[in-house]
Amino acid sequence: MPSGINVRPWLEWLVKVRIIIITILLAIELAIVTLTSTSVDRGLFVGLMIAWYGVAGFHLFFVTYRHSSEVAQARLQVITDLCFATAVIYLTGGIDTYFNFLYPLIIIVASILIGEKWAYVTAGMSFVLLGGVLELSFFDVIHSYSNTRPDLKSFQAVILINLVAYVSVAYLANKLANRLRQADVALSNKSFELENLQVLHEIIVRSISNGLITTDLDGTIKLVNPAAQALIGRTGEQIAAQTVQELFYDKLPRPGAERSEVRTLTPSGAEKMFGVGCSALLGTTGDTIGYIYTFTDLTEIRRLERELRQRDRLAAVGRLASGIAHEIRNPLSSIAGSVKMLSGIDALSTDQRELLGIVTRESERLNAIISDFLAYSRDRKFESMSVDLCQLLHDTLTLLENRGSGITIERRFAAAEAMAEGDGDKLKQVFWNLCSNAVRAMPNGGVLTVTLDAVEEGWRICFRDTGQGISPQLIEKIFEPFQSGFEGGTGLGLAIVYRIIQAHDAHITVRSEPGKGTEFTLLFRRESAPKLPEPAVKTKNTRSAATRRAMDPRLETR
For the chain, where do the domains classified as CATH 3.30.450.20 start and end? Answer: 208-297
- H/E stretch holding 296 reads strand 288-297
Assigned fold of 208-297? Beta-Lactamase (3.30.450)
Average pLDDT over residues 380-396: 84
pLDDT of 157 above 70: yes
Q: Which pLDDT does position 391 carry in this prediction? A: 92
Average pLDDT over residues 114-124: 86
Q: Which pLDDT does position 453 carry in this prediction? A: 92
Average pLDDT over residues 382-401: 87
For the chain, where do the domains classified as CATH 1.10.287 start and end? Answer: 313-377
Cα 109 to chain center, whole Å? 50
Q: What is the DSSP string of 138-190?
A: HTTSS----S----HHHHHHHHHHHHHHHHHHHHHHHHHHHHHHHHHHHHHHH
User: Which numeric CATH code is attached to 385-555?
Assistant: 3.30.565.10
For the chain, where do the domains classified as CATH 3.30.565.10 start and end? Answer: 385-555
Q: Which pLDDT does position 463 carry in this prediction? A: 94
Whole-model pTM over 0.75: no
**Residue 544 burial (10 A CB sphere; 0-12, 13-18, 19+):** exposed
Average pLDDT over residues 250-264: 87
Tens digits of residue pLDDT in 439-452 = 888 888 899 999 99
Q: Sorting pLDDT into bands at 50, 70 and 90, what band is 530?
A: very low
pLDDT of 39 above 60: yes
Report the alpha-carbon distance of residue 88 to residue 141 in Å, rounded.
18
Cβ neighbours for 413, distance < 8 A, ≥ 6 positions apart: 390, 393, 451, 452, 453
Q: How many CB atoms lie within 10 A of CB 518?
A: 25
What are the angstrom distances between the C-alpha of 547 and each of 339, 496, 497, 544, 551? Answer: 32, 15, 15, 5, 6
Average pLDDT over residues 466-489: 73
> 399 and 438 in contact (C-beta within 8 Å)?
no
Mean pLDDT of the chain: 79
Amino acid at 316: A
Assigned fold of 313-377? Helix Hairpins (1.10.287)
Tens digits of residue pLDDT in 274-320 = 989 999 988 888 888 899 999 988 888 888 887 787 777 767 766 77
pLDDT of 66 above 80: no
Q: Which pLDDT does position 547 carry in this prediction? A: 39
pLDDT of 487 above 70: no
> 158 and 130 in contact (C-beta within 8 Å)?
no
Amino acid at 396: T
Query: Phi, psi at residue 221, to the nearest 5°?
Result: -70, 130
Q: Which pLDDT does position 31 carry in this prediction? A: 81
Tens digits of residue pLDDT in 283-292 = 888 888 899 9
